């Protein structure tokens, strides 16, 4: 599953850091087309993981907002 690494869900920070590495690799332009496509797909999965964490944090904040 794209949201798991070694059987555990990636933390936001781990996903963000790996996404930054993927972007740097793509920007370097030294990968083959096939490698670039794999990197792109991994980047998309990592971005989705980050968005999931951010959406969860937003939902938690919205849930406590009325009680403030």
Q: What is the pLDDT of residues 6-64, one digit of tens each?
A: 557 899 999 999 999 999 999 999 999 999 999 999 999 999 999 999 999 999 999 98
Report pLDDT for 23.
97
Report the predicted TM-score, pTM, of the whole model to 2 decimal places: 0.81
Question: CA-CA distance, 63 to 22, in Å (whole number)?
Answer: 34
DSSP state of 8: E
Report pLDDT for 21.
98
Question: CA-CA distance, 61 to 2, in Å (whole number)?
Answer: 26
Distances (CA, A) of 66 to 53, 54, 57: 22, 20, 16
Give the pLDDT band of residue 67 (cuts 50, 70, 90).
Answer: low
- Give the burial class of 46: count Cβ atoms within 10 A of its Cβ; 0-12 exposed, 13-18 middle, 19 or more buried: buried
Report pLDDT for 8.
73
Q: What is the CA radius of gyration of the chain?
A: 15
């Amino acid at each position: 599953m794209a949201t798991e690494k070694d059987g555990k869900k990636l933390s936001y920070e781990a996903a963000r850091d790996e996404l930054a590495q993927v972007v740097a690799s793509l920007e370097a332009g030294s990968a083959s087309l096939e490698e670039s496509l794999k990197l792109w797909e991994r980047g998309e999965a990592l971005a989705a993981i980050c968005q999931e964490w951010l959406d969860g944090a937003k939902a938690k904040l919205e849930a406590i907002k009325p009680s403030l």
